[in-house]
Chain A
Amino acid sequence: MIALLQDIASWILLTAGGAFVLIGGIGALRMPNLYTRMHAASVTDTMGAFLVIAGIMVQAGLSLATIKLIAILLFLLITSPTSSYALASAALLSGIRPDAGQAADRPAQPPPDKGSAA
């Protein structure tokens, strides 16, 4: 009985996580410029990864594997926002403006002064 409930719960979590990854992937392909694409991809990083790992944790039960998964989850929760920040910051410094109307990733005007955006 418990095993069945565990299976159902973990499959719900895994399917939901997969759906978030899929949505993030479609968004990363369809969004018009770099910042909006990053916004879409962050769905994969956060909810997608979180739900998939939670699903595996339910499947693993109370064991050493769950502790390791918690460690991986913590690592992801710290590193993926940081890498998104680094990517966006690097894009801004290289002159890609986050203007809503601009569809292309090329700098519309000369790059801004180094340091002013930091």
Chain B
Amino acid sequence: MTVLFGIFLLTLLVITAVAIVRTRNLVVAVMLLGIFSLLLAINFFLLDAADVALTEAAVGAGISTVLFLGALALTSEFEHRRESARRRALSLLVVASAALVIVYATFDKPRFGDPDAPVLSYLGPWYLEETPEYVDIPNVVTAVLGSFRGYDTLGEVFVVFTAGIGVLFLLSARQQGTGVGRRKVDLRDEVLLVVVGRLLVPFILLFGLYVQFHGEYGPGGGFQAGALVAAGFILYSLIEGEKRALSALPLRALTVLTVGGTLLYGGVGVAGMLMGSNFLAYSVLTGDPVTGQKLGIILIEAGVGMTVCGVLLTIYHAFARREPAQ
């Protein structure tokens, strides 16, 4: 039954992907991308990857849609067809050969559900057995993400951080507008949306904090929480306007969040070195190794959440504050 449902969802995924490529209307494409992400999230959930599903739903379907719409507000709604037939043939060739390489690479992977796969033969069982002893938290995914493979997560945080800096460099090159009065329809006139939005914002922030601090016990963690908190602030900024959103959480505070989160993560690593062990070794942070692991994971998850939230909000404001090109 699950396999049937999975095949159904994957078929829908392919149909959505084709529709995204074929549509000329970019707003439609953005909406379809949101649907694509939701379908992908359900697929992840079917594969028991609840943490990844939560991330995909929050970032892919939620925040990216808003960021894409923010970018579209600065440009046109319709895609221009400019390329010639020769260039289209060239793009087709490039895409087809890349797809062939990827398909060829999948032949080396173990079959789906193969019990002899390396992941299932020793790696996964090792994490499942040793997590209660070394880290002692119920959610093994968080233990793997934060502690056993802390270097990878540090790399991901640096990727997010670098992406934020890159977008800021690109978008700050031109004169920043105030963003006031550029919308044809002001959302503040829509009483119903404002009332419901005001009602929802605190609960979204509360849920974000829940996901942040519940990451050790259930699906969740810094990435998801950062995206959720950012979503709450974006909603606030949409209904109350850029000015009030920026006075509630100014750009300077966002910079502090972004840099502070990355520094916190790196600082926890360096603290492990100073206290006589390796970089990102949490066991030496307190007297008891297991408590040290828990403390380290809570700290680095907080760092991840701060950086993700700060970067997403900075990118959103970078789009929202610009005047559209005429």
Contacts and interface: CB of A to CB of B under 8 A. Distances in A.
B193 interface: yes
17 contacts: A75-B203, A78-B196, A78-B200, A79-B196, A82-B192, A82-B193, A82-B196, A85-B192, A86-B190, A86-B193, A89-B190, A90-B185, A93-B185, A114-B185, A118-B185, A118-B189, A118-B190
A6 to B, nearest CB: 20
Q: Chain A binding site: helix, strand, loop or mixed by DSSP?
A: helix
Contacts of A115: 189
Contacts of B170: none
Interface string B188-204: 01101100100110010
A78 B201 CA distance: 13
Q: Chain B binding site: helix, strand, loop or mixed by DSSP?
A: helix
B200 A85 contact: no
Contact of B184 (A85, A86, A114): A114
Nearest to A74: B203
Contacts of B200: 78-79
Interface in A27-56: none
Interface in A42-100: 75, 78-79, 82, 85-86, 89-90, 93
B199 A85 contact: no
Which one of B184, B185, B192, B203 has the highest number of Cβ atoms from chain A below 10 Å of its Cβ?
Answer: B185
Contacts of A86: 190, 193
Interface in B134-183: none
Nearest to B192: A85
A82 B200 CA distance: 11
Contacts of B193: 82, 85-86
* 6 smallest beta-carbon distances between A and B, as pairs: A82-B196, A118-B189, A85-B192, A93-B185, A86-B193, A78-B196
Nearest to A115: B189
A44 B196 CA distance: 21
A82 B184 CA distance: 20
B184 to A, nearest CB: 6
A85 B199 CA distance: 16
Contacts of B189: 115, 118
Contacts of A85: 192-193
A14 to B, nearest CB: 14
Contacts of A82: 192-193, 196
